[in-house]
Amino acid sequence: MSLNGIYDTDNIFAKIVRGEMPCVKVFEDEDTLAFMDVFPQSKGHMLVIPKKESARNLLDVNPDALAPILKTVQRVAHAMKTALSPDGIIITQFNGAPAGQTVFHLHFHIIPRYDNTGLGQHASGGMADMDELNAIAARIQSAL
């Protein structure tokens, strides 16, 4: 998909927001949802999405909606830092398929980095063990 298009209300993240698909939730408020990536690039990889916005990417979103999204990104990144003690944290966001976007609902990746540990490929690694994701999520939640 290109940068332009119509928002698909049946994308996986929209289904997660509506409760039609499960996720390993880390944090939720009125505007945002943070959950574990089931195809993580690193142990502890999370996603943050808006709940009310039907924006495909950063270029589509109402600018007023960005503040609550970024507030959640920062909040869960701090909790990740406390809970997992990574050596670094990547915060990234893709716009359009050529840029690496695979789900066309605005989302931010928060990926812990550890010295001497490689990073998996975006959207192409194996599915994570759900028990491990739940355990990691619980550690991050305890730091919120």
Residues with a known catalytic role:
107
Contact call for residues 17 and 134 (beta carbons, < 8 A): no
Distance of alpha carbon 138 from alpha carbon 35, whole angstroms: 11
Distance of alpha carbon 103 from alpha carbon 12, whole angstroms: 7
Residue 3: phi, psi to the nearest 5?
-70, -20
> Residue 47 pairs with which residues in a beta bridge?
35, 109
**Whole-Å CA distances, 85 to 79, 111, 143:** 10, 12, 11
| CA distance between the termini of the chain | 36
- Eight-class DSSP state of 111: E
